[in-house]
Amino acid sequence: MASASARRPASSWKTSTCQPGRWPSGVFRPLGLSPSKLRQDRILDEARHTADPVHLIRVFGISATTAMKYVYAAHPERRSTLPR
């Protein structure tokens, strides 16, 4: 373990250039992503793996209608069509 004298004082540590409360945008913007797009991608990926709207509702806190939209987007073959 390094001695106390070998450690840098906290005042010399570089701080983040992102403003408090805005760090996600500052992190993802150089990658061309927004936090909302990243969240949408995570929900869609989870829908591809589970195809369970109740799981999506519980994990991501989305509505049943939104969960079904993600399931249908991930698994278009599961969409039922009613005969006319």
CA angle 18, 19, 23 (to 5 degrees): 60
In a domain, 74, yes or no: yes
In a domain, 38, yes or no: yes
The yes-or-no verdict on residue 1 having pLDDT over 60 is no
In a domain, 59, yes or no: yes
- The total of structural domains in the chain comes to 1
Structural domain that includes position 39: 27-78
In a domain, 16, yes or no: no
More confident residue, 51 or 16: 51
In a domain, 50, yes or no: yes
In a domain, 64, yes or no: yes
Q: Kindly report the pTM of this predicted structure.
A: 0.63
Q: Is 57 helix (H, G, I), strand (E, B) or coil?
A: helix
In a domain, 53, yes or no: yes
Nearest to 69 by CA among 34, 40, 49: 40
In a domain, 55, yes or no: yes
48-75 tens-digit pLDDT: 999 999 999 999 999 999 999 999 999 9
Q: How would you class 60 by CB atoms within 10 Å of its CB: exposed for 0-12, middle for 13-18, buried for 19 or more?
A: middle
25-52 tens-digit pLDDT: 677 777 788 888 889 999 999 999 999 9
Handedness of CA 72, 76, 78, 84 (dihedral sign): positive
